[in-house]
A and B are shown apart, each in its own frame.
Chain A
Amino acid sequence: DTAVSQTPKYLVTQMGNDKSIKCEQNLGHDTMYWYKQDSKKFLKIMFSYNNKELIINETVPNRFSPKSPDKAHLNLHINSLELGDSAVYFCASSQKRVTEAFFGQGTRLTVV
């Protein structure tokens, strides 16, 4: 069973479109995250949720809106996609906010 799963794995879309990425974890963790990895492999945290409550919102454009319907799910919705949004987006979860994180396989988003 996949611990942290994200869908889709690949997403190619045109500028201006709205898209969503879904994430689910079956580890029973309380905390979930979204990270963005750029072309140079730099990983930057975007959001963190703890028990459905937003904990971290890192100077991310408000075109990005996370939603956590329950503590096992954290989805990322992106409005009005721009070329610069092209990256790999990773979902992750952890048991507590200072322990190891478990990552999904990533969603490669390409905006054309």
Chain B
Amino acid sequence: SQQGEEDPQALSIQEGENATMNCSYKTSINNLQWYRQNSGRGLVHLILIRSNEREKHSGRLRVTLDTSKKSSSLLITASRAADTASYFCATFSGGNTGKLIFGQGTTLQVKP
């Protein structure tokens, strides 16, 4: 079953604006991860936030985690055309199996 679900499914913004994507998950987690996928390419790991962390930053990326609501958000500030991609959240299904489950993803288009 799907663990993470993203919202919105698609987002279109102008260069320079901020983009916020949300992710909800169903079970308890050790960590939550965000990945980016450019068109026709593989997934690239962006950031990992542990279950005992509430917020994490990496460059123009800011991730928050609310374990009580089982949700996370990814904020990209001052977006660029190069940020155009699909963004996925992912969590492990529990235990130590390494079963990394992805949400449906948010397709972000940044218009120059």
The answer to whether A and B assemble together is yes
- Is B104 in contact with A100, judged by CB distance below 8 angstroms? no
Q: Nearest-CB distance from A38 to chain B (Å)? A: 10
- Is B96 in contact with A98, judged by CB distance below 8 angstroms? yes
- Is B97 in contact with A56, judged by CB distance below 8 angstroms? yes
**Which residues from A are CB-within-8-Å of B35?**
103
- Given A41-B86, A90-B43, A106-B42, verify A100-B98 contact (CB < 8 Å): no
- Is A100 in contact with B45, judged by CB distance below 8 angstroms? yes
For the complex, what is the distance from the CA of A90 to the CA of B2, rounded to whole Å? 18
Of A4, A41, A55, A102, the residue contacting B98 (CB under 8 A) is: A55
- Is B99 in contact with A56, judged by CB distance below 8 angstroms? yes
- Is B98 in contact with A105, judged by CB distance below 8 angstroms? no
Bitwise, A76-112 to B at CB < 8 A (1) or not (0) is 0000000000000010101011111111111000000
**Chain B residues near A (Cβ < 8 Å):** 2, 30-31, 33, 35, 37, 40-45, 48, 86, 88, 92, 96-102, 104-105, 107
